[in-house]
Structure formats: structure tokens, C-alpha cells
């Protein structure tokens, strides 16, 4: 998608973090935006900051665990703009809790938000893109979709699963002129660790040092937009943690030792 001007871009998780920053970048490119997340007041704040005409931006509150509502929300987008050119599946939640102490409900919630909700919304939007014979699906995965990290087993599982699903989908929709881009951020300066879910289902409520010292979210968003315009299949964004992907591929034992050193003693 070399030119985003006047393209209809639907972003989930648009009220903060990567979704918010990407909305601003898309607005600068001249895209028309649909902003979705649970908090309407935060979406309205983002809408205002985008500085787009009211006719070019739609605030559409959405809970990604409410799969049954997706069809209705898609119709709202089509009634407003008539088409969907790009779906950015960005909503997600992280985890801070070991396998033994974490409630099963914690894993279920993470899988519902990070995987099932993404698959469900994609399935609702995909027929419209097939009809158009064009479209772009972008998914926020993580470097944790390529690696495993202690205290994040459910999160890693959900992100790994995204790659299996969307790599398969990419091959299925290629002849319909539909692109799929996987975004794999490492440490980005967002509140993902603060909002992470703990072993008992409560909010973690703490900023990780690695997150606080990570890549500025505006830099991440700029790289995402560049990847979309270049029709990239997959990109990694971060600092030295990105090397983990290549260690996993070529020197897995070295990565295993690094991960073991990160594990609780």
C-alpha cells in the first residue's frame, strides 16, 4: 500500500500506546481513520489530536472480547466510509505471572483478547476486502511471538499463534490482492507492562525498566507506517532485544541460556 491518502484505516487499541501513535502517523499520511478501543473518552482525545475533518474520522468504541458485536461494528464503518482498506489489529494485553501460580482464567482472557478477538474481527472484515479485490491486514504481534520469556507464557503463546494463523492467511488471500503485515515490537515506551494481567487476574500496575528505556512509541509508529507502505510481510522493532530472533534461528542454545538467566531464581 504505497499511498495511504484517503485510505480507510481501522485501528483497534487506538486509545493509547502503539495504536494511538500510529493513528497520528496515519492522519499525517492523509488516511481516513476508524478508532476503536473500549474507552470512548480516550478515543475522542485521540480523534481531536489527529486534526482530521470530522467526516474523515470515526470513533467506534469496541471490546475485542465481545466477538458477537463485530458484525455490527463493521456495518458502522461501511455505512460511514463504504469500504475498509486496512485493518490494524493492534489491541492486546500482556502478562506478568508464572504458569504454576496463574489462574486458568488468566490464560483464557489473554487468548481471547490477543488471538480469538483478532481472528474474529479479521474474519468479519475479510469478505469485504475479497469483494474489493484489495486490502491490507496488519497485526501487532511481538518479539514474544518469536521467543519465549518467563512470566509471560500465555502472552507468548497468543503471539506465537498469531504468526501461524496470519502466515497461513497471507498465502490464502494473495490472489485477492490482500496483504498481511506482522509487526513484532520489542521494548517500546508504552504502558503495556503497567496494564499487564497478573497471576490472579489483577492489573500488574508497574512499569518494567526495559519498557521505560525502550524505543519511543512515535519511532515505532513511524516504522510501522513505513512497513505498511512497503508491503512488508514481517518487521521487528526494538533495540538489542531484536537480536534474540536471530539467536533463536541460528544459535538457539545461546538464547536458551540468556532466557534461563532471566528466570526467577
Q: Which residues does the annotation mark as catalytic?
A: 155
Residues 241 and 147: their CA atoms lie apart, in Å, by 10
What are 197's strand-pairing partners?
95, 203
Residues 265 and 259: their CA atoms lie apart, in Å, by 12
The C-alpha cell of 224 is what? 510501522
Look at strands 32-36 and 57-59 and give their pairing. parallel
Which residues, 6 or more positions from 33, have their beta carbon under 8 angstroms from its beta carbon?
9, 10, 11, 14, 23, 26, 27, 50, 52, 56, 57, 58
Amino acid at each position: 500500500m504505497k499511498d495511504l491518502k484517503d485510505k480507510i484505516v481501522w485501528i483497534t487499541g487506538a486509545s493509547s500506546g502503539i495504536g494511538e501513535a500510529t493513528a497520528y502517523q496515519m492522519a499525517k499520511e492523509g488516511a481516513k481513520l476508524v478508532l476503536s478501543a473500549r474507552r470512548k473518552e480516550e478515543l475522542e482525545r485521540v480523534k481531536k489530536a489527529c486534526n482530521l475533518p470530522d467526516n474523515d474520522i470515526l470513533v467506534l468504541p469496541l471490546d475485542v472480547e465481545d466477538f458477537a458485536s463485530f458484525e455490527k461494528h463493521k456495518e458502522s464503518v461501511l455505512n460511514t466510509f463504504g469500504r475498509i482498506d486496512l485493518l490494524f489489529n493492534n489491541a492486546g494485553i500482556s502478562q506478568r505471572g508464572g504458569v504454576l501460580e496463574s489462574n486458568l482464567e488468566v490464560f483464557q482472557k489473554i487468548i481471547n483478547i490477543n488471538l480469538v478477538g483478532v481472528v474474529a474481527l479479521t474474519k468479519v472484515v475479510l469478505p469485504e476486502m475479497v469483494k474489493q479485490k484489495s486490502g491490507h491486514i496488519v497485526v501487532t504481534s511481538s518479539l514474544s511471538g518469536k521467543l519465549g520469556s518467563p512470566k509471560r507464557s500465555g502472552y507468548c503463546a497468543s503471539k506465537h499463534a498469531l504468526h501461524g494463523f496470519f502466515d497461513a492467511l497471507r498465502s490464502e488471500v494473495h490472489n485477492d490482492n490482500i496483504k498481511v503485515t506482522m509487526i513484532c515490537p520489542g521494548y517500546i515506551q508504552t504502558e503495556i507492562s503497567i496494564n499487564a494481567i497478573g497471576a490472579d487476574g489483577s492489573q500488574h500496575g508497574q512499569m518494567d525498566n526495559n519498557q521505560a528505556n525502550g524505543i519511543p512509541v512515535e519511532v515505532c509508529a513511524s516504522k510501522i507506517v513505513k512497513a505498511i507502505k512497503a508491503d512488508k510481510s514481517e518487521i521487528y522493532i526494538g533495540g538489542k532485544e531484536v537480536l534474540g530472533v536471530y539467536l533463536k534461528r541460528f544459535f538457539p542454545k545461546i538464547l536458551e541460556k540468556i532466557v534461563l538467566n532471566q528466570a526467577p531464581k
